[in-house]
Amino acid sequence: METVPPIVKFTSLQKRYGVGPVILDAINLTVAPHDFISFIGPSGCGKSTILKLVSGLSPGSTGELTVMGVKPREARDRQAFIFQDATLLPWLTAQLNVELPLRLRGRPEAERQTIARKMLELVGLAKVADYYPRQLSGGMKMRVSIARALTLAPQLLLLDEPFGALDEMTRNRLNEELLAVRAVAPFTALFVTHSVSEAVFLSNRIVVMAANPGSLHAEVAIDFPYPRRPELRGHPDFQAKVNEVTRLLHEVEIPPSS
């Protein structure tokens, strides 16, 4: 790890929005190439904010943050972001929404269409390719948004609760598809989720966050080898990791006072 330059490096980072309270404090984290890191923690602790910082959408207040050795904004061409909301353009069909990032990079139309269709098939939505967003269900919109991010084959993928609105089977299947995509076109992932078992299944590292102000409470290494098979979920070691993370989570989650 010492020789490879880190993909993302937080050094004593602090974040406030404007002159508001401290949202994230003393964040120190080094993400190595091909890490799949899950962030898990109470609602409002700053998980989305971490991803916004890495993407350069929101600046840090003090401390330092580099992405692939440069400022976050400068590394955007190698990143993709799946937002917490689907953020589809209402005037484009599902297909055209998925094509959008390729269009923005000037890829030829035929290539765009092929890739977009493949991705829509991956998330099980090929049939509704011509629907407008307002004709899609909540989970379908989120899946279009996932398909869109995957078209870019990014080096660094930021995922903000992408599977939160999905039923368990679709979710599991997409978990597996995500790892399959990653096996073919490897990427580093920063992943926000509320599902501990999802985090354990996908990640090699899990960061448990505490709130008020948001900070990194503990890190758990998950060293099951990739590729991971669905059967892993039934394995006792898997359950043990789930229990460990859950326990850590219970440490930070003091019931929100008011």
Ligand X SMILES: Nc1ncnc2c1ncn2[C@@H]1O[C@H](COP(=O)(O)OP(=O)(O)OP(=O)(O)O)[C@@H](O)[C@H]1O
Interface residue list for Mg ion (CB under 5 A): 48, 84, 137-138
Nearer to another protein, 1 or 91 (CB): 91
Q: Are 156 and 188 in contact (CB under 8 A)?
A: yes
- CA distances to 10, 117, 119, 161 from 134, in Å: 39, 20, 20, 21
What are the beta bridge partners of residue 27?
13
Least distance from C-beta 232 to Mg ion, angstroms?
A: 27
Element (H, E) at 81: strand 79-82
Q: Are 101 and 152 in contact (CB under 8 A)?
A: yes
- By CB under 8 A, the residues from 43 to 82 that bind a second copy are 43-44, 47-48
Which of the listed partners (ligand X, Mg ion, another protein, none) does 43 bind, with a CB threshold of 5 to 8 Å by partner kind?
Answer: ligand X
* Chain length of the chain: 258
Task: Name the residues that contact another protein, by CB under 8 A.
Answer: 17-20, 52, 55-59, 76-77, 79-81, 83, 85, 87, 89-91, 100-101, 103-105, 132-135, 152
Count of Cβ atoms closer than 10 Å to residue 62 Cβ:
11
Residue 97 sits at φ, ψ, to 5 deg, of -60, -40
> What are the residues whose beta carbons fall under 8 Å from the beta carbon of 137, sequence distance 6 or more?
none
Nearer to a second copy, 33 or 124 (CB): 124
Report the interhelical angle of 168-184 vs 138-150 (nearest 10°). 0
Q: Are 39 and 209 in contact (CB under 8 A)?
A: yes
Token pair in block for residue 87: 């953020």
Binding pattern for the stretch 237-256 against a second copy, x by CB under 8 A and - elsewhere = ---------x--xx--x-xx
Least distance from C-beta 126 to another protein, angstroms?
A: 20
Least distance from C-beta 61 to Mg ion, angstroms?
A: 19
Least distance from C-beta 140 to a second copy, angstroms?
A: 5
Question: How many Å is the maximal CA-CA distance in the chain?
Answer: 55
Residue 210 sits at φ, ψ, to 5 deg, of -110, 160
Nearer to ligand X, 14 or 103 (CB): 14
Task: Name the residues that contact ligand X, by CB under 6 A.
Answer: 17, 20, 23, 43-49, 84, 128, 131, 134-140
Which of the listed partners (ligand X, another protein, Mg ion, none) does 218 bind, with a CB threshold of 5 to 8 Å by partner kind?
Answer: none
Single residue of 143, 182, 205, 228 touching a second copy by CB under 8 A: 143
Token pair in block for residue 52: 């916004």
- By CB under 8 A, the residues from 145 to 204 that bind a second copy are 160-161, 164-171, 173, 194-196
| Nearest residue to ligand X, scored by beta-carbon proximity | 139
Least distance from C-beta 99 to Mg ion, angstroms?
A: 25
Residue 149 sits at φ, ψ, to 5 deg, of -65, -35
- Name the residues that contact a second copy, by CB under 8 A: 17, 20, 40-44, 47-48, 84-85, 120-121, 124-127, 135-140, 143, 160-161, 164-171, 173, 194-196, 246, 249-250, 253, 255-258
